[in-house]
A and B are shown apart, each in its own frame.
Chain A
Amino acid sequence: SQQGEEDPQALSIQEGENATMNCSYKTSINNLQWYRQNSGRGLVHLILIRSNEREKHSGRLRVTLDTSKKSSSLLITASRAADTASYFCATVLRTNDYKLSFGAGTTVTVRA
């Protein structure tokens, strides 16, 4: 079963607009990570946010984490056609193994 669930499942925006996607999870986490996957290719790590952090930035990406609501959001600002991809949140639980538990992903299409 999947720990995280992303919302929305799909998102279509115009180039230059911002894209926001959300992730909810079920149990306490060590950290939450966001990955990007371009059509059937490997996953690229975007940001890791730890359970004691509330917000992180990386370039045009902003991630927030609300552990009381067990949710996270990823904001991509000033989107570009190259941002077209699927975005996955993945949680690492507070256990002795450190596997990633992925959500189903949000497919983002940026129209030129």
Chain B
Amino acid sequence: DSGVTQTPKHLITATGQRVTLRCSPRSGDLSVYWYQQSLDQGLQFLIQYYNGEERAKGNILERFSAQQFPDLHSELNLSSLELGDSALYFCASSAGGGPDIQYFGAGTRLSVL
């Protein structure tokens, strides 16, 4: 158990809908990262937050947004969902804002029908 909790584990929804994925980092970790894993794109970095502030952005679509709350949990919001958004979404956390080991949650499997 990595200590990173992601909910829900599975999500099935329809095109055009909006969903929220939730992540609770390991106790004491200040950084949260979101990654998307799909068959065609592999593992792609989406966005990073450090202590409530956005630190870095990767290949995140404009339809996607995220935030990190004062208690350090994070949410990834996906809107106007398309079939191609079906993927595994991982959250990872690390202790600080540096090049540390990242601890991954079990992921949320999103299926857009």
Closest to A35 in B: B104
Tell me the total A-B contact number using a CB cutoff of 8 A: 62
| Dominant secondary structure at the B interface | strand
Is A45 a contact of B43 with CB atoms below 8 Å?
no
Q: What 0/1 pattern do residues 88 to 112 of A give for CB contact below 8 A with B?
A: 1010100011111111110000000
* Size bin of chain A's contact surface: 20 to 34
Which of B11-19, B76-84, B105-113 lies at the binding interface? B105-113
Is B106 a contact of A45 with CB atoms below 8 Å?
no
Which residues from B are CB-within-8-Å of A92? 99
Which residues from B are CB-within-8-Å of A99? 33, 45, 48, 56, 58
Chain A stretch 10-52: residues in CB contact (< 8 A) with chain B: 30-31, 33, 35, 40-45, 48
B contact residues vs A (CB 8 Å cutoff) = 2, 4, 31, 33, 35, 42-45, 48, 55-56, 58, 88, 90, 92, 94, 97-107, 109
Identify 25 residue pairs between A and B in the complex whose beta-carbon atoms are under 8 Å apart, listed by A's number: A2-B42, A30-B99, A31-B99, A33-B102, A40-B88, A40-B107, A42-B4, A42-B90, A42-B105, A42-B107, A43-B92, A43-B104, A44-B2, A45-B102, A97-B56, A98-B31, A98-B56, A98-B94, A99-B45, A99-B48, A100-B92, A100-B102, A101-B45, A102-B43, A102-B44
